[in-house]
Chain A
Amino acid sequence: MNTSFSSGRPLCILIAAMGGEGGGVLTGWIVDAAERAGYPVQSTSIPGVAQRTGATTYYIEIWPEQTGKRPVMCLNPMPGQVDVMIASEFVEAGRAIANGYVSPDRTLLIASTHRIFAVAEKSAMADGRYDVSKLFRAAKDHARRTILFDMDQAAKDAGSILNAVLLGALAGSGALPLPSQAFEDGIRAEGKAVDSNLAGFRFGLSHGEDDLAARAAVLSSLPPAAAVPALADRIARLPLAVQTFAAEGIKRLIDYQGEAYARLYLDRLDTVVRLGDEALANETARHLALRMSFEDVIRVAQLKLKPERFDAIAREQRIRPGQPYMVAEFLKPGVEEIASLLPPALARRIIALSDRRGWTEKFHLGMTVQSNRVGGYLRLRLLASLRGWRPRSFRYAEEQARIEDWLDLIRRAAGLDPQLAREIVDCARLIKGYGDTFKRGAGNFERIRDRVILPALEHRLAPAAATDALVQARTAALADPDGQSLGNMLADFEASLRPAIPQAAE
């Protein structure tokens, strides 16, 4: 006898989810629908400690014939043998593809394109987000069919949950021999949040058709620059490419300090525009506006009182009109922040004393201010009203000196190598924030300035080498908060520059 077996195989469904999302509920619905329709079905999972937001999977096999006889069904998926891959989040879809569970001859990929950021992406010191554009490409290349859209948003729009939308998309895809009625009956039989679950299910159902014209997340879109009448003519004189950022910058700085300060911005920007490199000027326009609107206590108080901020809070926290609510701010200015509002001579003395006595690290004025209550409002108003005083403050003097120095480096570098100049502009992103964050960033910038930028400007280092080093240094500076990576990088860089001549004396 030489038996050749029929090619009957189960339908294999793999669900990638995160702990706590209710992947078990989705699995239960699918199993229930298959049972209702009379198909042998089996599911299993590996929850373990993944109940706490870790990546996890659920696996289902459905035998595609209505029979009372149960086949031998499996407990784990096999690469190349998954019929439907469901992912509740886009990087999890990517993980499934990378693990070989999405194959061009077989797999329907149903995935939500929204992102839930992993800790490593969130905790990066700048932008650590994974670039999902290659996942769209991978989905297109590796799946037989795809249903991709932002199901999280769809669920919110439908007043439902993500799992219901995923289930609907699965039902609508026709990939399983199950009528949508079987799924709906399961949701009803479970009896929990029936209406909202059905709403999500129906939304998914109607979007179950093939669609890879997926809406890639638009990560940031630039609003058109609002006209600033007072300085409109000066903006108009700038190269077109620079105008958007410049207009935005002017708007910000008028709000921050006043029109004269915005003019100073334009004057400074002009010195870079004159160098004739539009890309350089454009990035300078952006960073210069940010650097000139440095954060101090005055600025924070001003931002905290903006009407549009309260609108945003009401929107985000779903506060109904007329509903009483209280907003408490966590402020904790230290000796430096407070002293830096004083005139430079006095501030310097106080900060020096505070450093000597060890107060700088120790003493902070912790306050919880209720900004939409009269008392708190008045305190913030008082701080914000110091705006007119700001140009006389120590911090202002220091920042203007730093900015002038940075612009000077840019202008000098532009004469040597435009690429080097652009990299110096970009180093401005290291300097941001308040307190420790600000000090760390400014410190890192200074190390890079002294050990890479200045040597290049003083012709002790080839501009091309300096450009490369700047890119590396910036990455290293953002790699860890202790400055260790940057230290190592700079040391390695300097070592590589030393002539490789053996020391005879040694």
Chain B
Amino acid sequence: MERSFAKEIESLRLGDGDIFRGEGILAVTKALLQSGVSYVGGYQGAPVSHLIDVLVQAQDMLDDLGIHLETCTNEASAAALLGASIHYPARGCVTWKAIVGTNVASDALSNLASAGVTGGALIVVGEDYGEGASVIQERSHAYAMKSSMWLLDPRPDLPTITRSVEQGFELSEATNTPVMLELRIRACHVTGEFPARDNKPAKVSRNSRLPGPSAFNYDRLAHPPATFMQEKLKLEQRMPAARKFILEHGLNETMPGELSEIGIVVQGGLYNALNRALMNLDLADAFGNSRVPILVLNVTYPLVPEQLVQFCAGKRAVLMVEEGSPDYIEQALHTALRRADVNTRVHGKGMLPAAGEYTIEAMTRGLLAFMKAEQPQIDVSAADAAFNIALDNRKTAQALIGTNLPLRPPTFCTGCPERPVFTAIKLVEREIGKVHIAADIGCHALATFAPFSLGHSILGYGMSLASAAGVGPLMNTRSLAIMGDGGFWHNGVLSGVASSMFNRGDGVLIVMKNGYTSATGVQYIPSSAGNRVDGLGSGSDIETTLKALGVKWVRTLRSYGLKDMRASLKEALTTTTRGLKVILAEGECQLARQRRLRTDEAKALKAGERVVRTRFGIDDAVCTGDHSCIRLSGCPSLTIKPNPDPLRTDPVASVNSSCVGCGHCGEVAHAAVLCPSFYRTEIVHNPGWWDRVSDRLHRAVIGWLGGARPAQTVQPAAGE
């Protein structure tokens, strides 16, 4: 990783009397240190990557506090890490992106939750839901319910979030149960402040080690017959203890309000938007003083039935504000009221949307409906009018602008080593026809967008090869699976490669070997050239691993070498040799590379060293504006500009200044036999005597032959 988190690390060192200012996820990290955590682990993914990324660079601080940091190879291994808290009084925290990470972790989580914990176990899940999400829209809530783990969903401000971390550990220890802390995307990135406290060294740590293992105890194994007893324990002891803790420590908050006939029950994470919606109806002020009583569930599982009943009793109706589906809390609320024979009406889904993010707009609409139905004496017509004016304004704007505003999905970075592989696939498909392409999670999934539009299915991280296993045997043509090296180590090596070998699969797999998990923020993986612990590679090599698994057909190719890539890919897809065929497309992540190179280059230029900069360009006069080159590349630096030729109207292609000179344009121009408008320049900075002499010589000869006047004679000779 080349990005520096020095500033963030400084804020982790704050102590009593300081004010912490920063992002939500960093505040969680700080709260962990204040809670006396013994070990931290996780798997990267937006929006929680920073938790681990920052700690990776804070080794000094971790050493001082004796905290063990494990950068896990997947979420299952992160969940299993919490096994340390089963027997030992060590607080541990792991993190990942949900829902997908929780899916991967769920086997270990089930076993952990069944055995129960001694030390506090906290799972910070980045709930990737709503606008900006990159995964399937599902809820972590289901996992909490099925495994009887507790789920915190705090109000999205830093004091509440950090308090939840600390209370989460206490709750976990008081109930011997792992606790999940759910933070939505925007809450992870929300900025704010809270009064910091000193970091606390853990009771058990690398600096204060356990003398030895605990005594054998079968009851701590998630193994029959203990599992039957553990199931009872969950329901008969741990859950009642959790409910008691929630009530006694006031984890859920009741906000009073004068309109006692009605009330609102809301997930903590949605509270701020609810307050704004209430403001829109003139039912609250900006400081959270509300006319409607509100029950804020900072713990959404388990619910405390008596708390729900007490809040609802005597009211005509309540509105349940619960994002996503199924409506677990709303159903539980109905059940709690029914069992207590309380006849308060419950509104929720219906007035509020069944699917999608609960924005202020969605909540305002729901509240208007709720108030009109249950408090018709309160005049909300002004709010209604203002709301409709805003929506009408949007409607007229949309009518004016039209529906053809170009979409802007993310694309491969300028110079990305994965782009050429998809160009090769497109070119091979022109020759041999279309093939079934099993896509995967990672940057390479961006090839599903234009201009490539390649990929038939995505079944999860590292799952591409496995997801093609049933396709290949049913089709006349071979199928192609694409996987990143991140996905390979995450689980593709086993669920894909080993399974394919075991079943005599005959597919083709391309592994993008760019050296990092780049989509999540360029973290190291087992085959990276570096490692956070000692800076050295881990010695885990993909090609060696494939060979050890028995794969015979393996080609390692430079990903920018379009010609060879195309030939190998065509061979893999058409050869009569049976068995799994793997192409390793090697090329370092350009994001990581440029971060390093830019610094190095600036240093070299400053030191007066010779630096050759390579850039690409397009001749306006030669380009005819067909844009084939763009359809085979989509590079951000390859764009269009108005045609300077007065006779032509179609815009010409153009390379802008963000070009990093990866060479792909030239390769495409050759491989796809495009127009000859591309050129490459190599510009020498701090030239040596030989550069100067040879350059002058060539210019002089060409000038003598009647060729182009050297460019510089046109410009005033400025200083040189």
Residues of A with Cβ closer than 8 Å to B?
1-6, 8-10, 18-20, 31, 35, 41-56, 59, 63, 69-81, 91-92, 94-95, 97-100, 102-104, 116-127, 129-130, 134-135, 137-138, 141-142, 219-220, 222-223, 244-245, 248-249, 252, 286, 289-290, 295, 300, 303-307, 309-314, 316-317, 319-332, 334, 364, 366, 368, 371-374, 377-378, 381, 429, 432-437, 441, 481
In-complex Cβ contact of A43 among B190, B413, B702 (8 A):
B190
Q: Are B400 and A138 in contact (CB under 8 A)?
A: yes
Q: Are A45 and B708 in contact (CB under 8 A)?
A: no
Supposing A46-B131, A323-B684 touch, asked if A8 and B628 sit within 8 A by C-beta, the answer is no
In the complex, how many angstroms separate the beta carbon of B387 from the nearest chain A beta carbon? 8
Residues on B with beta carbons closer than 8 Å to the beta carbon of A69: 287
Interface residues in B610-633 by Cβ distance below 8 A to A read: 615, 617, 619-622, 624-628, 630-631
Residues on A with beta carbons closer than 8 Å to the beta carbon of B619: 303-304, 309
In-complex Cβ contact of A44 among B191, B617, B628, B695 (8 A):
B191
13 contacts between A and B (CB under 8 A): A5-B284, A42-B192, A71-B288, A78-B276, A130-B405, A311-B711, A313-B679, A322-B720, A324-B683, A330-B669, A330-B678, A364-B673, A441-B626
Most A CB within 10 A of own CB, among B386, B519, B650: B650
Q: Are A74 and B276 in contact (CB under 8 A)?
A: yes
Please report the C-alpha to C-alpha distance between residue A127 and residue B653 in the assembled complex, in whole angstroms. 11
Please report the C-alpha to C-alpha distance between residue A81 and residue B394 in the assembled complex, in whole angstroms. 12
Residues on A with beta carbons closer than 8 Å to the beta carbon of B214: none
Q: Are B640 and A129 in contact (CB under 8 A)?
A: yes
Residues on A with beta carbons closer than 8 Å to the beta carbon of B273: 74-76
In the complex, which residue of chain B has the Cβ closest to the Cβ of A320? Answer: B720
In the complex, which residue of chain A has the Cβ closest to the Cβ of B184? Answer: A75
Q: Are A304 and B622 in contact (CB under 8 A)?
A: yes
Q: Are B401 and A325 in contact (CB under 8 A)?
A: no
Please report the C-alpha to C-alpha distance between residue A163 and residue B104 in the assembled complex, in whole angstroms. 40
Please report the C-alpha to C-alpha distance between residue A71 and residue B284 in the assembled complex, in whole angstroms. 12
Q: Are B708 and A306 in contact (CB under 8 A)?
A: yes
Please report the C-alpha to C-alpha distance between residue A50 and residue B133 in the assembled complex, in whole angstroms. 10
Please report the C-alpha to C-alpha distance between residue A455 and residue B489 in the assembled complex, in whole angstroms. 63
In-complex Cβ contact of B687 among A18, A137, A324 (8 A):
A324
Please report the C-alpha to C-alpha distance between residue A435 and residue B683 in the assembled complex, in whole angstroms. 31
Supposing A42-B191, A321-B718 touch, asked if A53 and B640 sit within 8 A by C-beta, the answer is no
In the complex, how many angstroms separate the beta carbon of B8 from the nearest chain A beta carbon? 13
Interface residues in B259-276 by Cβ distance below 8 A to A read: 271-273, 275-276
In-complex Cβ contact of B636 among A53, A135, A138 (8 A):
A53
In the complex, how many angstroms separate the beta carbon of B613 from the nearest chain A beta carbon? 9
In the complex, which residue of chain B has the Cβ closest to the Cβ of A48? Answer: B132
Q: Are B705 and A381 in contact (CB under 8 A)?
A: yes
Please report the C-alpha to C-alpha distance between residue A41 and residue B710 in the assembled complex, in whole angstroms. 57
Q: Are A319 and B625 in contact (CB under 8 A)?
A: no
Q: Are B390 and A81 in contact (CB under 8 A)?
A: yes
Interface 1/0 per residue, B701-720 and A, CB below 8 Å:
11001011111101111101
In-complex Cβ contact of A377 among B361, B653, B676, B707 (8 A):
B707
Residues on B with beta carbons closer than 8 Å to the beta carbon of A126: 625-626, 650
Q: Are B132 and A35 in contact (CB under 8 A)?
A: no
Residues on A with beta carbons closer than 8 Å to the beta carbon of B359: 76, 78
Residues on B with beta carbons closer than 8 Å to the beta carbon of A2: 258
Residues on B with beta carbons closer than 8 Å to the beta carbon of A18: 408
Q: Are A432 and B624 in contact (CB under 8 A)?
A: yes
Q: Are A54 and B408 in contact (CB under 8 A)?
A: yes
In the complex, how many angstroms separate the beta carbon of B526 from the nearest chain A beta carbon? 23
Q: Are A119 and B411 in contact (CB under 8 A)?
A: yes
Supposing A80-B393, A130-B406, A248-B647 touch, asked if A433 and B443 sit within 8 A by C-beta, the answer is no
In the complex, how many angstroms separate the beta carbon of B155 from the nearest chain A beta carbon? 8
Residues on B with beta carbons closer than 8 Å to the beta carbon of A44: 186-187, 189-191
In the A-B complex, the 3 residue pairs with the smallest Cβ-Cβ separation, listed nearest first, are: A80-B390, A46-B132, A100-B394
Q: Are B131 and A76 in contact (CB under 8 A)?
A: yes
Please report the C-alpha to C-alpha distance between residue A226 and residue B286 in the assembled complex, in whole angstroms. 67
Is B537 on the interface with A (CB-CB < 8 A)? no
In-complex Cβ contact of B617 among A142, A316, A436 (8 A):
A316
Please report the C-alpha to C-alpha distance between residue A63 and residue B647 in the assembled complex, in whole angstroms. 56
Is B134 on the interface with A (CB-CB < 8 A)? yes
In the complex, which residue of chain A has the Cβ closest to the Cβ of B646? Answer: A222
Residues on B with beta carbons closer than 8 Å to the beta carbon of A434: 624, 674-676
Most B CB within 10 A of own CB, among A99, A330, A381: A330
Residues on B with beta carbons closer than 8 Å to the beta carbon of A73: 157, 272
Please report the C-alpha to C-alpha distance between residue A120 and residue B639 in the assembled complex, in whole angstroms. 11
In-complex Cβ contact of A123 among B398, B631, B648, B687 (8 A):
B631
Given known contacts A20-B413, A320-B712, what 6 new A-B pairs fall within 8 Å (CB)? A10-B286, A103-B390, A119-B411, A121-B640, A220-B642, A306-B621
Is B397 on the interface with A (CB-CB < 8 A)? yes
Is B670 on the interface with A (CB-CB < 8 A)? yes
In-complex Cβ contact of A433 among B279, B357, B675 (8 A):
B675
In the complex, which residue of chain B has the Cβ closest to the Cβ of A224? Answer: B646
Is B694 on the interface with A (CB-CB < 8 A)? yes
Residues on A with beta carbons closer than 8 Å to the beta carbon of B647: 245, 248-249, 252, 286, 289-290
In the complex, which residue of chain B has the Cβ closest to the Cβ of A45? Answer: B189
Supposing A8-B285, A79-B361 touch, asked if A47 and B132 sit within 8 A by C-beta, the answer is yes
Interface 1/0 per residue, B14-25 and A, CB below 8 Å:
000000010000
In-complex Cβ contact of A127 among B132, B451, B651, B684 (8 A):
B651
Q: Are B626 and A433 in contact (CB under 8 A)?
A: yes
Please report the C-alpha to C-alpha distance between residue A474 and residue B673 in the assembled complex, in whole angstroms. 25
